[in-house]
Amino acid sequence: MVQAVKNSWATFKSIFTGMGITGRHLVGPTVTLQYPEERATLPKNARARLFVNMDDCIGCTLCAKACPVNCIDIETVPTTADVDLGKTSTGNPKRFWLTRFNIDMAKCMYCDLCVHPCPTNCIYMEQEYEYSEYDRSNLLYKFSQLSPVEVDDVKAKAEAEAIQKQKEKEEKARQKAEEARLKKEQEAAEKARAADDGTGAVPAADAAKAAGTAAPDAADAARVAGTAAKPAPGSPSKQDDTQNPSKGEA
């Protein structure tokens, strides 16, 4: 009986305590903001939408590598010798054209991991959080400042330069081979001169043969280098992401 009275006392006490708490909240202030009319000021380090300051980007792709969900898609083309892209505001030289810099905000999970590795601090979160879209493809943000024409231009230039370099290399290799041949011929001639005159014809033919095999070797090496160099600037030139959002995922 005493226990029962105690129990009911405890029950009523806890009920009234609870009602006291809810009652205080009932008359207390509310924390709601009437959203479209009122907006909260976000804290400085709020993560909302990524922004890339392209003037400072050096195309190092560190951010793309850091992203755990692969939503940053970067394509770079090395600059040709005749252009100088200048330096970033932090003093790093820029050596790449950024022909593509896409961030898929539909995939982004706001982890902020891409922000910290950037050597020039040019990728960061903005305060903008109202960017919902009806079409998911509209969430693919393109930061590259080059127009398609310019991209083609730059790529063609880079390719031309690559071919040019290749040719120079080939030329060098050829010259080297030539030199080697000449050297060998000279040596052979000297040998022949040093030996008897009658036997001189055969080593000369040998030396010529040796030079003949050396030259195709150099040509082969050039060809191999050419195929290795070619696809790198060539293949991405076909991509055009404006029409096909699924490319970004591919």
Partner 1 sequence: MNETLSSMPFLPALLLHAAIPLTIILVYALVAIWAERKVAGFIQDRLGPMRVGGWHGWAQSIADLLKLIQKEDIIPADASRFWFKFAPFMMFAASYAAFAVIPFSSGYIGSMVNIGVFYLLAVTSVLTLSVIMGGWASNNKWSLLGAMRSAAQMVSYEVPTIATVLTVVLVAGSLNLMEITELQSGNDTLGFLPNWLIFQNPFLITAFIMFFISILAESHRVPFDLPESESELVAGYQTEYSGMRWAMFMLAEYADMLLLSLLGATLFFGGWNSPFGDFLAGPFWGFFWFMLKGLVLVFVMMWIRWTLPRYRVDQLMAICWNILIPLSFVNLVLAALWEMIF
Residues that bind ligand SF4 (CB under 6 A): 50, 52, 57-63, 66-67, 69, 71-72, 74, 103, 108-114, 117-120, 122-123
Taking CB under 8 A as the rule, does residue 26 contact partner 1? yes
Taking CB under 8 A as the rule, does residue 38 contact partner 1? no
**Angle, CA of 243, 248 and 250, to the nearest 5°:** 115
Cβ atoms within 10 Å, residue 193 = 10
Taking CB under 8 A as the rule, does residue 21 contact partner 1? yes
Of the residues 9, 13, 15, 224, which one makes contact with partner 1 according to CB under 8 A: 15
* Longest CA–CA separation in the chain, Å: 138
Q: Is 25 exposed, middle or buried (0-12, 13-18, 19+ CB in 10 A)?
A: exposed
215 with 177: CB under 8 angstroms?
A: yes
**Angle, CA of 63, 42 and 144, to the nearest 5°:** 30
Q: How far apart are CA 247 and CA 140, in angstroms?
A: 11
Instruction: Choose among ligand SF4, partner 1, none what residue 76 binds, the Cβ cut-off being 5 to 8 Å by kind.
Output: none
Classify residue 57 by its DSSP letter: -
Q: Whose Cβ is closer to partner 1: residue 28's or residue 198's?
A: 28
Q: Whose Cβ is closer to ligand SF4: residue 49's or residue 174's?
A: 49
* Binding letters toward partner 1, positions 116-155, x by CB under 8 A: ----------------------------------------
Shortest distance in whole angstroms from residue 75 CB to ligand SF4: 11
Cβ atoms within 10 Å, residue 164 = 12
Of the residues 34, 227, 235, 243, which one makes contact with partner 1 according to CB under 8 A: 34
Taking CB under 8 A as the rule, does residue 2 contact partner 1? no
Q: Whose Cβ is closer to partner 1: residue 19's or residue 113's?
A: 19
Shortest distance in whole angstroms from residue 21 CB to partner 1: 8
Q: Whose Cβ is closer to partner 1: residue 9's or residue 131's?
A: 9
Instruction: Choose among ligand SF4, partner 1, none what residue 19 binds, the Cβ cut-off being 5 to 8 Å by kind.
Output: partner 1
Q: Whose Cβ is closer to partner 1: residue 22's or residue 235's?
A: 22
Question: Distance from first CA to last CA of the chain, Å, rounded?
Answer: 75
Q: Provide the Cα torsion 77, 79, 85, 86; round to 10°.
A: 120
Sign of CA pseudo-dihedral 154, 155, 160, 166: positive
**Angle, CA of 132, 138 and 107, to the nearest 5°:** 75
Q: Whose Cβ is closer to partner 1: residue 25's or residue 209's?
A: 25
Q: Whose Cβ is closer to partner 1: residue 26's or residue 40's?
A: 26
Catalog residues that contact partner 1 under the rule CB under 8 A: 8, 15, 18-19, 21-23, 25-32, 34
